[in-house]
């Protein structure tokens, strides 16, 4: 095997609307069937290039991944179409600190996606070492030369295996999609093409005491992992696949519906989302995704019709003053473009749609100042277009242009203002990142593309992401049309997880709050003791600092035994480990980069 990615798929829930998940499928607040979402443009903390943690973008904080010991994947910047990747060498892994929440487990169905490539070259089959027992639901993708294996259920038996040979270019990035249910069977797709469809012969089982891990036997690279605890429908799967294809510049083998991501059409491959319908039971009519544009309520969405959109990565502020129609004061630099097609790539019409804009963080907005611009003649310019009025303030910084029929296949659209004084649509952060520097202090960096009336920034710190304290203040640049870079160092941060956010203030003291940056600081001074040792059943670990990562227990062959033991927290500084299910013998416990012998009598 050249690599393996281990998945634990989780429990049944229902989709909600206002969908902010991948391509607008599911939500990012933990309330939908989207339960795991790890992507390279969200929530990665590093020490140097070694990955410390990877935040779960699905909004389930208990499922954040952290490193254990020194076997950490490496972050490679801008490796795949401008996005970072995590590189694994066969020993690296990231794992949730605790068990998956009990409300997120499944017994019969799931959908998952992974964007990956293999780097190691080996014809040997190597089983994943954790936690590959037959009594729980697990799923992993493996490869050996030109053959791919996807194992499910009670790992690795032929009755539960999808095996596809004759596959080339495994050293290139692919996006893999896996749908499963006992009623509908199992389907494995690569780059949109169905590789195998087979009926289930074994039910899935899972347990609430198990964590989730990526890596350990993976020789390869990963950019994104998406897991739903319920099988999504075929229209939704196609939309997610087009999002992944555009984002990572992977040419689809099938279901290539969104062509605005290619160079000839202008590379509109950011924040791709979509709506569409395969048939009456496989439909999706409300999406937002990772961007600020939400499209919903199509008036004439029929079978085999899709509307998918993305933007060009331009600045999300109204600083374009040249290519604008008469009466417009400024428009977004950022431009969106749509593909409105069927499965044969022929143009279709899904009818009128509602277009909503989330303008959170863009200052004061008067709805009557907003204008929707659509490049109706498809010449690449907006100056010759008629601005569309009628924006309605829906509350929560969301504004809607309802029942818009002007969006057609290949057309561009953007947002404008007729009054830059009352509706300036000002500063947007280009980036806000953090990392541990060589002195074990936390370095926070952020950049702005342009600024309007930007008075100052306040950097805030928190230990729990709920209670915040200001730790630094930096003067803004007022009005600027050039990129401005800022940085601040948090000296002597506490060991463990530290959270940071920015508050930007205008001269009139209106403020906007940034996303949260998470940094995991490790202390070189952590010490602990184990007692009683030897033990017959339980052993206690007591640390001189708060315990934020569970210890790891291995046998003499290096196999993780954590799935067979139970943990009980006595306090923030101690944990009790139940070894009653283990045979008598000598084991190895690793905690805080130290390893101790444990003897079970």
The answer to whether residues 407 and 338 touch, using CB atoms and an 8 Å cutoff, is yes
* Strongest mean pLDDT among 101-110, 222-231, 567-576: 222-231
Residue 352 tokens read as 């009128």
User: Token digits for 257?
Assistant: 């519906």
pTM confidence score: 0.72
What letters, b where the CB count within 10 A reaches 16 and e where it falls short, cover 573-592? eebebebeebeeeebebbbb
Helix (H) or strand (E) holding 531: strand 528-531
DSSP-based three-state secondary structure for 63: helix
Q: What is the pLDDT of residues 305-336, one digit of tens each?
A: 999 999 998 878 788 889 999 999 999 989 99
Q: Whats the size of the chain, residue-wise?
A: 601
Give the residue, 207 or 290, on which the prediction is more confident.
290
Segment 424-472, tens digit of pLDDT:
776 667 778 888 887 788 999 998 877 777 889 999 998 877 788 999 9
Span 236-247, pLDDT tens digits: 999 999 999 999
pLDDT, residue 155, reads 47
pLDDT grade for 145, boundaries at 50, 70 and 90: low
Q: How far apart are CA 104 and CA 109, in angstroms?
A: 12
* 167 and 176 Cβ atoms separated by less than 8 Å: no
Is the pLDDT at 9 greater than 70? The verdict is no
* pLDDT number for residue 325: 97
417-434: pLDDT as tens digits: 999 877 877 666 777 888
Number of H helices, E strands in the chain: 1, 44
Q: How many whole angstroms separate alpha carbon 163 and alpha carbon 141? A: 10
Do 163 and 148 touch, CB atoms closer than 8 A? Answer: yes
Q: Which tokens belong to 559?
A: 């196999």
**pLDDT computed for residue 551 by the predictor:** 86
Helix (H) or strand (E) holding 234: helix 234-248
pLDDT tens column, 494-536:
877 788 999 888 887 777 777 778 887 766 566 778 888 888 8
The mean per-residue pLDDT over the stretch 264-283 comes to 96
> Taking 80 as the threshold, does the pLDDT of residue 170 lie above it?
no
Q: How many CB atoms lie within 10 A of CB 596?
A: 15
H or E element: which one contains 553? strand 552-554
Please tell me the distance from the alpha carbon of residue 214 to that of residue 93, in angstroms, as a whole number.
6
Binned at pLDDT 50, 70 and 90, residue 132 comes out as very low
The DSSP secondary-structure symbol of 123 reads -
- On the question of pLDDT at 7 being above 90, the answer is no
Q: What is the mean pLDDT of residues 276-303?
A: 97
Residue 156 has pLDDT above 60, yes or no: no
- pLDDT above 80 (res 366): yes
Q: What is the pLDDT of residue 473?
A: 94
Contact 228, 113 (CB under 8 A): no
Of the listed ranges 6-10, 217-221, 344-348, the least confidently predicted one is 6-10
Rounded-to-integer distance, Cα 512 and Cα 507, Å: 12
């Amino acid at each position: 095997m050249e690599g393996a990615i281990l998945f634990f798929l989780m429990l049944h829930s229902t989709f909600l609307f206002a969908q902010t998940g991948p391509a607008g499928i599911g939500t990012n607040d933990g309330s939908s069937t989207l339960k795991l979402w790890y992507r390279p443009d969200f929530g990665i903390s590093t020490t140097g290039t070694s990955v410390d943690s990877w935040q779960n973008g699905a909004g389930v904080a208990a499922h954040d991944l952290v490193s254990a010991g020194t076997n950490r994947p490496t972050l490679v910047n801008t490796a795949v179409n401008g996005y970072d990747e995590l590189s694994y060498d066969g020993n690296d892994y990231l794992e949730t600190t605790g068990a998956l929440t009990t409300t997120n487990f499944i017994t019969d169905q799931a959908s998952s996606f992974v964007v990956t490539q293999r780097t190691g070259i080996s014809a040997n089959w190597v089983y994943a070492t954790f936690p590959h027992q037959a009594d729980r639901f697990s799923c992993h993708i493996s490869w050996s030369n030109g053959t791919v294996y996807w194992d499910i259920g009670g790992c690795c038996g032929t009755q539960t295996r999808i095996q596809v040979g004759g596959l080339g270019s495994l050293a290139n990035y692919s996006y893999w999609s896996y749908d499963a249910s006992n009623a509908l069977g199992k389907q494995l797709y690569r780059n949109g093409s169905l590789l195998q469809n087979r009926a289930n012969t074994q039910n899935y089982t899972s347990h609430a005491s198990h964590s989730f891990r990526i890596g350990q036997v993976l020789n390869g690279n990963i950019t994104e992992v998406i897991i739903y605890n319920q099988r999504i429908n075929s229209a939704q799967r196609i939309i997610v696949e087009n999002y992944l294809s555009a984002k990572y510049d992977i040419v689809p083998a099938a279901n290539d519906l969104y062509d605005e991501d290619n160079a000839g059409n202008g590379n509109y491959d950011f924040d791709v989302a979509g709506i569409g319908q395969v048939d009456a039971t496989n439909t999706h009519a409300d999406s937002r995704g990772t961007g600020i544009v939400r499209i919903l309520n199509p008036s004439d969405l029929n079978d085999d019709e899709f509307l998918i959109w993305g933007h060009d990565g331009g600045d999300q502020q109204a600083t374009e003053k040249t290519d604008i129609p008469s009466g417009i004061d400024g428009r977004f630099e950022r431009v969106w473009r749509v593909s409105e097609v069927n499965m044969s790539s022929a143009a279709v019409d899904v009818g009128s749609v509602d277009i909503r804009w989330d303008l959170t963080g863009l200052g004061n907005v008067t709805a009557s100042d907003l204008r929707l611009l659509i490049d109706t003649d498809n010449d690449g310019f907006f100056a010759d277009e008629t601005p569309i009025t009628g924006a309605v303030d829906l509350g929560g910084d969301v504004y809607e242009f309802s029942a818009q029929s002007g969006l057609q296949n290949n057309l561009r659209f953007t947002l404008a203002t007729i009054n830059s004084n009352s509706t300036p649509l000002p500063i947007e952060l280009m980036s806000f990142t953090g990392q541990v520097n060589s002195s074990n202090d936390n370095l926070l960096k952020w950049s702005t593309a342009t600024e309007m009336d930007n008075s100052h920034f306040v950097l805030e710190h928190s230990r729990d992401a709920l209670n915040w304290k200001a730790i630094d203040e930096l003067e803004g640049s007022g009005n600027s049309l050039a990129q401005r870079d800022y940085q601040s160092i948090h000296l002597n941060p506490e060991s463990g997880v530290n959270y940071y956010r920015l508050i930007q203030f205008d001269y009139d003291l209106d403020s906007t709050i940034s996303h949260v940056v998470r940094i995991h600081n490790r202390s070189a001074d952590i010490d602990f003791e184990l007692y009683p040792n030897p033990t017959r059943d339980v052993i206690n670990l007591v640390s001189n600092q708060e315990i934020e990562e569970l210890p790891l227990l291995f046998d003499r062959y290096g196999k993780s035994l954590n799935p067979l033991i139970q943990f009980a927290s006595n306090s923030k500084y101690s944990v009790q480990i139940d070894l009653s299910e283990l045979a008598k013998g000598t084991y190895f416990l690793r905690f805080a980069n130290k390893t101790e012998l444990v003897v079970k009598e």
